[in-house]
């Protein structure tokens, strides 16, 4: 239980640190000066923060109720989520390589450079991971 | 896999949370176990059976 509390505390610290970095970023640069790549790199930690806040809050309430931070089912869910999002990422990357023109136009750019492509790819991976995690948590059947 | 966890839990007047704490798992695991939506490991099956003072055979039945 003590180990669980420490792990949860570390997660909360990382979430707060990410949030603080984003605030610093926003206060350092006027929003109108940010390019699409910078905006994308802000959206990724924001998605992570939403995910982590949700996760930390739920786990905190569980620890308060005397439940373990993780058990065999939650470990299986995490493994399955990681495996499925890794597999799906290949299709996501393939889709980006096919649709980089339309994606660039959608973002108001002429073309996607390496940095922007990486940012779009990571954003997609983050969303896919979160989606699968929610799906397996609600669906239940993971065998 | 079918199971009689709910029946045995009611027998001993345990809530899902009580059982989860005694077995050392999260409450959702017990919820999904009872619904038959999660197949437990042998280790967990034995722990649940022990807490509910029964055997794994009594508690779980493999569907055809």
The tens digit of pLDDT for each residue in B32-43 reads 999 988 999 999
pLDDT band at A57 (very low <50, low <70, confident <90, very high): confident
State how far the Cα of A137 lies from the Cα of B2, in Å rounded to an integer. Answer: 21
From chain B residues 11-50, the ones with a CB under 8 A of any chain A CB are: 17, 20-21, 24-29, 32, 35, 37-41, 43-44
CA distance B25 to chain A (A): 5
Q: Are B22 and B51 in contact (CB under 8 A)?
A: yes
For residue A60 the two structure tokens come to 């905190």
- What ipTM does the predicted assembly reach? 0.87
pTM of the model: 0.73
Name the burial class of residue B24, with classes exposed (0-12), middle (13-18) and buried (19+) by CB atoms within 10 angstroms of its CB. middle
Checking A73-77 for CB contacts under 8 A at 24+ apart, the result is A73/A142, A73/B25, A73/B26, A73/B28, A73/B29, A73/B32, A73/B38, A74/B26, A74/B29, A76/A142, A77/A133, A77/A136, A77/A137, A77/A142
Would the pLDDT of A30 be above 90? no
pLDDT band at A27 (very low <50, low <70, confident <90, very high): confident
pLDDT band at A126 (very low <50, low <70, confident <90, very high): confident
Name the burial class of residue A112, with classes exposed (0-12), middle (13-18) and buried (19+) by CB atoms within 10 angstroms of its CB. buried
Regions of chain B short of the pLDDT cut 50: none
pLDDT band at A1 (very low <50, low <70, confident <90, very high): low
State how far the Cα of A12 lies from the Cα of A49, in Å rounded to an integer. Answer: 10
CA dihedral angle for residue A70, residue A74, residue A80, residue A86, rounded to 10 degrees: -50
Q: What is the mean pLDDT of chain B?
A: 91
State the pLDDT at residue A44.
75
Nearest to B37 among A62, A71, A141 (CB): A141
CA distance A141 to chain B (A): 5
pLDDT band at A64 (very low <50, low <70, confident <90, very high): confident
């Amino acid at each position: 239980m003590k180990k669980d509390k420490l792990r949860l505390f570390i997660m909360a610290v990382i979430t707060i640190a990410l949030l603080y970095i984003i605030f610093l970023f926003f206060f350092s640069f006027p929003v109108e000066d940010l390019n699409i790549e910078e905006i994308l790199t802000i959206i990724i930690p924001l998605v992570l923060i939403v995910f982590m806040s949700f996760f930390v809050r739920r786990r905190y309430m569980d620890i308060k109720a005397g439940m373990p931070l993780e058990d065999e089912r939650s470990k299986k869910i995490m493994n399955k989520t990681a495996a499925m999002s890794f597999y799906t990422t290949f299709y996501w990357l393939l889709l980006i390589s096919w649709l980089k023109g339309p994606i660039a136009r959608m973002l108001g750019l002429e073309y996607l450079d390496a940095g922007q492509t990486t940012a779009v790819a990571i954003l997609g991976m983050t969303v896919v991971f979160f989606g699968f995690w929610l799906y397996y948590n609600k669906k239940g059947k993971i065998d | 896999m079918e199971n009689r966890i709910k029946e045995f839990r009611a027998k001993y007047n345990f809530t899902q949370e009580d059982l989860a704490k005694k077995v050392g798992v999260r409450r959702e695991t017990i919820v999904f176990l009872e619904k038959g939506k999660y197949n437990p490991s042998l280790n967990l099956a034995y722990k649940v059976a022990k807490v509910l003072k029964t055997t794994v055979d009594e508690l779980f039945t493999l569907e055809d």
